[in-house]
Amino acid sequence: MRSRMDDVKSYAPSAVVGQVMMGAVVAEVMESRNPKFKAGDTVTARQGWQLYSVSDGRDMAVMDPSAAPLPWYLGLLGGGGTTAWVGLFDIGKAKAGETVVVSAASGSVGSVVGQLAKLHGCRVVGIAGGPEKCGYCVDDLGFDACIDYKANGMLANLQAATPKGVDVYFDNVGGEILDAVLTRMNPHSRIPLCGTISQYDKTEPYGIRNFRSFLVNRILLQDFVMTDYREEGQRAQPWLLQAVKDGKLKYRVSVAEGLAAAPEAFLGMLKGRNFGKQVVKLS
């Protein structure tokens, strides 16, 4: 949504002032002339920030409201979970015994990345802002360590938490944190680039100082968007749903009440005030 607000080339069309802000929703079908859906179905769709909408059904999928809390279908059981899966396994090629570092570790995607990596037998180190978020990653999600990027001594703390270096860095933020992790990357390591949230409001792009690490360590960096990995994401969803039912994955959601609360919730998400997935309960 943030990238849509800039009138620049991106992987998604720019938002148009006066039109509905697009995004994923969980909704109830009120009336249907489509045989695939019936009134009362709970569905996921891309209908944006509005109370009512009309769809031909192409962007909709029926889901089980009894399997998990409804907001989870916008995160762990939706785009957040499949993004974590594809980035960690299809792009990052994470292997048991490797060290995985993930930034924005307490967020919608990062929290899933860390848990998936732990279930896969990896050492997991998160990077998050503040002691509360770092404590959540270690105490609740089971990370081996979490670095507070707002505290002094981040580089020293990162070095202590990654004694064997870093094999996979799942990057959600870019900027100075990417530069710091580059000092710890192992030969033939991988960087799935999921987002650059630290740069969204910058007028001047951050210039990477440790760029030489890519050559010295033969690092593979690959950015990705889920529209290019629909089949991989669909394959991941049954596993994620079963893992939720089995209690293997935890998730946290921040809920803003009412459409009028959406702008402040959106700004808070960009400033890191939310835990996990930020959602808006429209009604």
Indicate the pLDDT class of residue 206, thresholds 50, 70 and 90.
Answer: confident
Q: Is a pLDDT exceeding 80 seen at residue 15? A: no
**Domain 3-77+254-281 CATH superfamily:** Medium-chain alcohol dehydrogenases, catalytic domain (3.90.180.10)
* Cβ-based neighbours of 110, under 8 Å, separated by 6 or more: 84, 102, 103, 104, 126, 128, 170, 172
Indicate the pLDDT class of residue 274, thresholds 50, 70 and 90.
Answer: confident
More confident residue, 9 or 32: 32
For residue 271, the model assigns a pLDDT of 79
- CATH class for the region spanning 82-227: alpha beta
Q: Are 110 and 134 in contact (CB under 8 A)?
A: no
Quick one: CA torsion of 90, 94, 95, 97, rounded to 10 degrees? Answer: -170
pLDDT, tens digit, for every residue of 140-171?
999 999 999 999 999 999 999 999 999 999 99
Longest dimension (CA), the chain: 61
For residue 128, the model assigns a pLDDT of 96
Q: Choose among 92, 97, 118, 107: nearest CA to 197.
A: 107
More confident residue, 35 or 200: 35
H or E element: which one contains 190?
strand 185-193
pLDDT, tens digit, for every residue of 100-143?
999 999 999 999 999 999 999 999 999 999 999 999 999 999 99
Indicate the pLDDT class of residue 230, thresholds 50, 70 and 90.
Answer: confident
Q: Is a pLDDT exceeding 80 seen at residue 1? A: no
Q: What is the mean pLDDT of residues 201-227?
A: 90
Q: Is a pLDDT exceeding 70 seen at residue 48? A: yes
Q: What is the mean pLDDT of residues 175-200?
A: 93
Q: Token digits for 118?
A: 């732990």
* Cβ-based neighbours of 7, under 8 Å, separated by 6 or more: 14
Q: Is a pLDDT exceeding 70 seen at residue 10? A: no
For residue 202, the model assigns a pLDDT of 74
Indicate the pLDDT class of residue 223, thresholds 50, 70 and 90.
Answer: very high
For residue 18, the model assigns a pLDDT of 85
Average pLDDT, the chain: 91
Q: Is a pLDDT exceeding 80 seen at residue 73? A: yes
More confident residue, 126 or 283: 126
Alpha helices in the chain (DSSP H): 79-85, 110-119, 131-135, 154-161, 175-182, 212-216, 230-245, 262-270
Amino acid at 243: A
| Extents of the domains making up the chain | 3-77+254-281, 82-227
